[in-house]
Homo-oligomer: A and B are copies of this chain.
């Protein structure tokens, strides 16, 4: 469940309150292991996903990243070729050592039958934060830069492909059994930029990771990718794809080959509402995907005001029906 550990759980908020900076939280194995395990204890999910953040990559590359209470991440933005000069790929793996330690401990601590999922942000989405300085609905500066000077923007994407590939390969060495790439801002792009900034960098990361870890499944999540999702699957070579709640499942099952596992699609707002509306939404997904391998999941991140009992209700309903 995206994101499985987090602000909807009181036991998470308690740990979080004891650590001043969010990045320090991600880099403290004791804390990161504990909050990764919390939802497993509560709900017994079939898989656990590493607790970390997609912005550890710009942080590890040398960009200044902070998280402000109630505001989300704030980065010292990079807006030109000169800004790119501060980025240094060579230090990334050392900088992220605590995250690999978290994974090593998790691979011992979680039940043998529970999957361990590592993850990273996709280059486009990470680049949006790096260029805009924060999450921005329109991603206008990043989109404009990529139109104005595609060669310069490619340098940023190259750095991110390289750093992210190394990061994911190291996650596998530390115990990750599945990897997921989050491209939360994929949906804002024109078709031509979706091809060059979402599909192509993702394809290169999949190629790099597969060269080192051919058997580790990779799940892509081009959020709001809509019509482009089948081409994304075909060109990138991902083994699974996470679908946001705007994607009709019958269409996805027709357009995406069975070799690619489907995941997601539950509206995070119906999970907040709960009750009959939630039951109907869960049943609808189960019914539609009856004849296909499917990973039940949200279509986008769980929101803090989600009542934890609604998550339990979903789990019970799925288990009751299979």
Residues of A that sit less than 8 Å from B by CB:
137-138, 140, 143-144, 147-148, 150, 187-194, 224, 226-228, 245-249, 251, 267, 269-270, 272-273, 275, 277, 281, 284, 299, 303
Contacts and interface: CB of A to CB of B under 8 A. Distances in A.
A148 B272 CA distance: 10
A272 B144 contact: yes
Among A150, A190, A248, A275, chain B packs the most CB atoms within 10 A around the CB of A190
A299 B143 CA distance: 14
Contacts of A269: 138, 140, 143-144, 147
Given A187-B224, A189-B245, A224-B224, 7 more contacts: A148-B273, A148-B275, A150-B277, A187-B246, A190-B246, A190-B281, A227-B247
A144 B246 contact: no
Given A190-B245, A191-B247, A269-B140, A277 B147 contact: yes
Contacts of A190: 245-246, 267, 270, 281, 299
Nearest to A139: B269
Nearest to A142: B269
A249 B284 CA distance: 31
A148 B224 CA distance: 24
B248 A191 contact: yes
Contacts of A228: 246, 248
Contacts of A150: 277
A248 to B, nearest CB: 5
B189 A246 contact: yes
The 4 closest A-B pairs by CB, nearest first: A226-B226, A190-B245, A190-B267, A147-B277
A269 B193 CA distance: 11
26 contacts: A140-B303, A143-B269, A144-B269, A144-B272, A144-B273, A147-B267, A147-B269, A148-B273, A148-B275, A150-B277, A187-B224, A189-B246, A190-B245, A190-B246, A190-B267, A190-B281, A191-B245, A191-B247, A191-B248, A192-B281, A226-B226, A227-B227, A227-B246, A227-B248, A227-B251, A228-B246
Contacts of A148: 273, 275, 277
Nearest to A275: B148
A128 to B, nearest CB: 13
A61 B112 CA distance: 61
Contacts of A267: 143, 147, 190, 193
